[in-house]
Amino acid sequence: MPTEILMPALSPTMEEGKLAKWLVSEGDAVRAGDVIAEIETDKATMEVEAADDGKLDKILVPEGTEHVAVNQPIALLLTDGEDQSQAAAPTSPLGGEDAAQRAAGEGARTTIESTSPSPHPSPRWGEGGERTQAAANDTSPHRGEGAARELGESLPDVEGAPAGPQVAPTEPRPEAEVPPGTEMVTMTVREALRDAMAEEMRSDPSVFVMGEEVGQYQGAYKVTQGLLDEFGPMRVVDTPITEYGFAGVGVGAAFAGLRPIIEFMTWNFAMQAIDHIVNSAAKTLYMSGGKMHCPIVFRGPNGAAARVAAQHSQNYASWYAHVPGLKVIAPYTAADAKGLLKAAIRDPSPVVFLENEILYGQSFEVPKLDDFVIPIGKARVARTGRHVTIVSFSRGMAYALDAAKRLAAESIEAEVIDLRTLRPLDMETVLASVRKTNRIVTVEEGWPVCSVGAEICARVTAEAFDHLDAPPVMIAGADVPMPYAANLERLALPSVDQVIAAVKSVCYRT
C-alpha cells in the first residue's frame, strides 16, 4: 500500500496551512530526507521531507492550495518494491485512531525554514529553534476539528490536546451595534484585528504599530500581516527584544500626540514593561491635572495557549483591570475584536487589549460596514435565557456558550453575557440579567483570587442581593502556576462540565 504524506502540524494550535509549492513531480524518485514541498502557515514556512525512499505516485493537493487541514493526505508515496497497482484511494483525514497512528509514524517529517527567528522561542521548540520530537510528530490535537465544526458537533477530549473546551465556536447573536440587514463576511479574529489596524492607519496618519517582528515577519502570530507593505517601516516599526524599551518609546510618542499600537509577542513578556503601562501611561492624566493624555494601545495574546507552561500561560485580565487610568478589553468574536480595537485606537486613554492565541484562527461573522466601531464599556448578551445568567469574556465564552447549549437540552435556559470590556465593567447589563434570572455563574481562565469573577459576584451580591435565589458561583482556573503536562494543564483550567455543574447547583438541579 502507498504511504500517505499528510499535512503536518507546525504547532499544537495549527489547524490548517497553505501548500505553497511542490518541489517534485509525480513519478519522481525520492530519498528519505529529500525536501518535496513547502508549506506556509501563519507563523513560518515549513519544508516537508520524504520519510521513506520511493517514488511520488500521486499529488492529491495542488500547489497554491490554501486552508489545507492538518492530517489531510496531500500526496501518495510508493516505497521501494511497490507498484501503482497497489495504490488505493486515500483514507479520510478523520480516520480516528488510524489517522493518529499514521500521523505519529508515517507520512512526512517537517523542518523549519527560518524566515526570521523568534526572539522569544516558545517552549514548543527545542534549543536552537528546532522542533521538539513531540512537535515534529504530526499528532495535532486539532485533527478533525474542521469537519466537526461543519457538522456543529462538539469535539471529544483528546489526550495531549490544548486544555479547555475542544468545541466548535458557537456563533453568538448579532451585535447590537449592527443595523438590521447588514451584509456579513466571515473572517478570523487574526484578520479582524489586522483590518482594524489597517483601517485606522489609513484614516489617521498619527497611528503606527511597534513591536518585535511586527514588520518583516508580519507579527509572531501574523496579526500585522501586510501592514509593512502598505505603510512602510516608519509606521510599522520592528524593535529589538526590549519590551521595557519600546513600551517606553510608545508612551513618549503618545504624550507627544501620536497614537501608538504596541504589540507584545505575549502579555507574559509585558511584565518587563509594566512600569511604563501602570506608572506612566495609566497615571499621567490624573497626575497632570487632566492636561496630558496618553492615547496608546498595548495589545497581544493573553492567557493559556497549549502546553507553554507556567511562565507563558498567565492571564493578566484582573491585573490590569485593577489599575485606575487604564481601559481593559478582552474580546471573543472577530467582530468584537475589530470594532473594539478601532475604538481603542481612537480612545484618548491608554487601553490594554487582551487577545487569545487559541482564538486567532477562529472564524466568526463580521459586519461589512465602512466604519464598524463598538463602544468600550458595553457588554453583549450573546444568548438570551431565563433560568440563570452566565458571565464570561475572551476564551471563557467558549465554555459558557457550549455549556448553555448543552443545558438547553435539559430545559435549563441560560443567558450568556460577554463582558468584552473588563474596565469599565458594564454592571448594568449584568445586574439587569440577574434581576431576571435570579442566579449567576461567572467563568474565566484566570486565577480565582481577586479575579474578575470575584469582583462581579461581590457587586451582584451588594447591588442585587434581594433578587438572588442562590449564592453566586465563580468558575476559574486552579490557584496554581500552570503545569506543563497536558493532563495537569487540563485540570488547571475550567471545563464545560464544571460550568454545567455550577449552573445545576444554583438551579437546584442534579
Annotated catalytic, 243?
A: yes
Residue 17 sits at φ, ψ, to 5 deg, of -160, 180
Q: Which one from 142, 276, 312, 387 is the annotated catalytic residue?
A: 312
Which helix (H) or strand (E) segment is 262 a member of?
A: strand 259-263
Q: Which one from 145, 199, 243, 444 is the annotated catalytic residue?
A: 243
Burial 350-386 (b: 16+ CB within 10 A, else e): bbbbbbbbbbbbbbbbbbeeeebbbebbbbbbbbebe
Distance, in Å, from the CA atom of 227 to the CA atom of 218, rounded to the nearest integer, reads: 8
Annotated catalytic, 106?
A: no
Of the candidates 171, 173, 169, which has an alpha carbon nearest to the alpha carbon of residue 380?
173
Distance, in Å, from the CA atom of 489 to the CA atom of 241, rounded to the nearest integer, reads: 29
Decide: 442 and 457 in contact? Cβ < 8 Å. Answer: yes
Which helix (H) or strand (E) segment is 146 a member of?
A: helix 145-151
Of the candidates 446, 440, 438, which has an alpha carbon nearest to the alpha carbon of residue 479?
446
Distance, in Å, from the CA atom of 417 to the CA atom of 485, rounded to the nearest integer, reads: 32
Q: Is 291 exposed, middle or buried (0-12, 13-18, 19+ CB in 10 A)?
A: exposed
Calculate the dihedral angle through the C-alpha atoms of 167, 171, 173, 179, rounding to the nearest 10 degrees. Answer: 160
Of the candidates 317, 252, 286, 364, which has an alpha carbon nearest to the alpha carbon of residue 476?
317
Q: Grid coordinates standing for 108?
A: 512526512
Decide: 277 and 247 in contact? Cβ < 8 Å. Answer: yes
Enzyme catalytic residues: 243, 312
